[in-house]
Structure 1
Amino acid sequence: MSRQVNTEVAVIGGGVQGAGIAQAAAAAGYKVCIFERDQWASGTSRRSSKLIHGGLRYLETGQFSLVYHSLRERAQLLRNAPELVRPVRFYIPIYRDTGRRPWQIRAGLTLYFFLSGCGPLGRFRKVPKAEWQGLDGLNTEGLQAVFQYWDGQTDDQLLTEAVVRSAQALGAETFTNTELIKGRKTEQGYRLELRDAEGVFHCDCRSVVNATGPWVNDTAKRIDGTRFTEQIELVRGSHILVDKALTKGVFYMEAPEDGRAVFAMPWGEHSLVGTTEMLHEEGPDSVLPTEKEIVYLQNTLAHYFPGEQPVLLNAWAGLRVLPKSSASANKRLRDTFLLCDDDSQPAAVSVYGGKLTAYRHTAERVVAQLVARLGKRSGALDTRKLKLEGALPSATRGASETRM
């Protein structure tokens, strides 16, 4: 006898975006199922830079709306998940040959302060020269100024799992190790054919949300009638973990090779360095950092912290979905966009892009699309006020944790 699941909203993809959408849809009063072909946060959502931030560098490309919403989401995560997201000091060193001048950094941080709402986490300062020697061995030759501001840090996998638990508490049914085979349009919505360890089963739903990250087009092609775009590229972001300890906070570095932003971040007793931005021409199932990327990150770290040769402990890479463009990856727009099968009453929504920090805002946008088809429900909850339960393990706290 074939198994059957019935729901209103079926979410495909168990990364932070899919988890956030399941949470938001359940909070809105809908019956929800979320399907993940592996385990929660098994893809890009556990291969990020672990930062909850507003995107200071996006101000240079005029992405003010993205920064504004990201800063609002950062503030909410710090309130709602204080054991999973913590404020951390960030340092920007400026040298004679740094591309951005001190006045530019000050102007950017001032705008960041106003966009954040002028609260304590928006404050910044110019670090006195007397403190430079205490900055974890930062190279002081040719150093002209150091600015310190605030952003946040998390464990991306644990945060995703906490959002899943929140969705479950709101009534969402969750399925891991479950792969979508195909979706067929019906009069009521969609009939999905899925496979898990027990075999094939079906899910009838009124709406389906494709939140599969770099697999978004592959998934859309399996669902009849869904729209997808070829006007995207996958960009690989690689990270390394080394045995250097950083006690002061996160260092925002300008890579000497190409001027890109690279962060050196405390991660327990070690340091996480990232990220790169390389066009990824292979499929999303095959994502590994290249030797060239590893050396690029090592050289950037050595440039700012000379005299050390920290041992490489680990390396990994995740994928970003960015609009296809002739511009370099770090100059492209980072906004998330949605494609619907019907703009007036969508039965299928595909999510393109998405930032860890802004997952809740993206989910809010998706649910706003679904309301036209499903209608509003009484007793809806505001996800801006939902607490996330969980805590970072001691291995990621230690000296890297900074309270204001």
Structure 2
Amino acid sequence: MDTVDLVVIGGGITGVGIAQRAQAAGYSVAVLEKGEIGQATSSNSSKLIHGGLRYLESGQISLVRESLAQRKALLLLAPTLVKPVPFYIPIYQGSQRGPLAIRAGLSMYALLSEFDALGQFKSIAPKEWGNLFGLKLQGLRAVFRYWDAQTDDHALTLAVADSAKQIGARIHTSVEIKSIEHQRDACTIHYKQNSLAKSLKALCVINASGPWVNKTLELVQPKVTGVDIELVQGSHLVLDIPPPDGILYLESIYDKRVVFVMPWKGKTMIGTTETPVNDADEVGVTQAETQYLLGIYRHYFPFSEEGSHLADKVIGNYCGMRVLPKQQVDAFDLPRETLMNTRVTHPRLMTIYGGKLTTFRHTAKDAVEWVEKQIGQRAAVADVDQLKLCASTNHTNNMLDG
């Protein structure tokens, strides 16, 4: 039976990010993914590399600061995959967030970004509002522009996985895990791949299986308890409409949530929703979500040529899944920090709950520090902070066209 230092269960951005950093630190790593790399949640996000301006409202300052630091790093490490893009925040009469509040938030955002180039923001003069993509002008009080970044999430995940493989990580797809035996100083994973029964011994195991994280824990022997979670679906629509030149940061007319209208591969995309679901295997864009998003678009772009025929312009949709701690608050208000859970009864196993596309590198750093505490240091084979991330041509073409 083969033995490795670390098995990572899950081939999303969190899993491959951990694999890349651990392999670079000198650990032998294997990733076990039930489907294909980045095929699920990590290819169904809002495609943003951002600090999360709205998280300031709920006091998640450390998350915003770390996200902005990782945005800066990814712009340097993956310049063909992560690109700056302007965001526009229109403020109307009756908006929940007035001009003073938005200005204060953007000032804090700039401060937390340590005043890098993307930390700049400005107020758009009223004479320029008519040029903002056909945006509704009635009741408009102010418009602010700031900067964040956009990416092709699937291509970024594949690029990180490829980087991990290049320095020696083993990545296995189409894997069905049957059981995880936790012993005192190692774990044995029994699984099937292409109908073949296989086993792999690992000194440490990290469960990074996203929405299926607790289902993976059910395979562990002896039994281990997980953390109660909320599964929240975020849906997006792709419209056959010429894209805006930037991203619109809009307040939902229904529930005051933040919704984005953005360019995507030469079309317009709108998202996202926050819909609690019970089972990660039974997700899908609902009719209610479609009407919710189209209603917001119609409200802010009332003179669009598509008008009442907007539903006919929907040429694609998708939904991602967020893993959030279960609390008695609305999904929109739940904290977005990543939870790294271990149990004294299972010292060789870590389970990761949540995780943001933007901060996958920070999550990976914390995970590898845990591995080091369990099995000691290894001789590093690469500096992960210098490894450039590049995607194949078919994943980068027309990413932000329009």
| Short-chain TM bin | over 0.9
| 1:216-255 matches, cutoff 5 A | 216-225=213-222, 227-255=224-252
Q: 1:176 aligns with which of 158, 173, 177?
A: 173
Q: Deviations over 1:207-236 (max 9, x none)?
A: 011000000000011122474434211011
Q: 1:334 aligns with which of 333, 336, 350?
A: 336
Give the Cα separation in 2 of the matches to 1:365 and 1:230: 19
- Give unpaired runs (5+ residues) of structure 1: 400-404
Give the conservation status (yes or no) of the 8 Å contact 1:17–1:354: yes
| Structure 2 counterpart of 1:289 | 285
One-letter amino acid of the counterpart of residue 113, structure 1: A
Q: Offset of 1:302 from its aligned partner?
A: 1.1
Moved more, 309-318 or 283-292: 309-318
| Structure 2 counterpart of 1:268 | 265
Q: Offset of 1:246 from its aligned partner?
A: 2.4
Q: Deviations over 1:135-190 (max 9, x none)?
A: 11111111010000000100110000000001101110110111211111234401
Give the Cα separation in 1 of the matches to 2:101 and 2:335: 21
| Structure 1 counterpart of 2:120 | 123
One-letter amino acid of the counterpart of residue 383, structure 1: V
| Structure 2 counterpart of 1:377 | 378
Q: Deviations over 1:193-218 (max 9, x none)?
A: 01111411000110011000000000
| Structure 1 counterpart of 2:19 | 22
Give the Cα separation in 2 of the matches to 1:62 and 1:221: 34
Count of aligned pairs: 394
Give the Cα separation in 1 of the matches to 2:238 and 2:182: 46
Give the conservation status (yes or no) of the 8 Å contact 1:39–1:177: yes
Give the Cα separation in 2 of the matches to 1:98 and 1:186: 56
| Structure 2 counterpart of 1:83 | 80
One-letter amino acid of the counterpart of residue 397, structure 2: S
TM-score scaled by structure 1?
0.95
| Structure 1 counterpart of 2:362 | 361
Q: Offset of 1:380 from its aligned partner?
A: 5.6
Give the Cα separation in 2 of the matches to 1:92 and 1:224: 51
Secondary structure at the counterpart of residue 346 of structure 1: strand
| Structure 2 counterpart of 1:202 | 199
Q: Offset of 1:381 from its aligned partner?
A: 4.0
| Structure 1 counterpart of 2:188 | 191
Secondary structure at the counterpart of residue 234 of structure 2: strand
One-letter amino acid of the counterpart of residue 353, structure 2: Y
Q: Deviations over 1:347-372 (max 9, x none)?
A: 11000000000011001111111111
Q: Offset of 1:383 from its aligned partner?
A: 2.5
Secondary structure at the counterpart of residue 315 of structure 1: strand
Q: Offset of 1:373 from its aligned partner?
A: 1.1
Secondary structure at the counterpart of residue 220 of structure 2: coil
One-letter amino acid of the counterpart of residue 95, structure 2: T
| 1:49-60 matches, cutoff 5 A | 49-60=46-57
Give the Cα separation in 2 of the matches to 1:380 and 1:340: 27
Give the conservation status (yes or no) of the 8 Å contact 1:35–1:174: yes
Give the conservation status (yes or no) of the 8 Å contact 2:182–2:348: no
One-letter amino acid of the counterpart of residue 318, structure 1: G
Moved more, 382-391 or 45-54: 382-391
Q: Offset of 1:36 from its aligned partner?
A: 0.6
Structure 1 residues 326 and 389, CA, compared in 2 at 3 Å: closer, same or farther? same
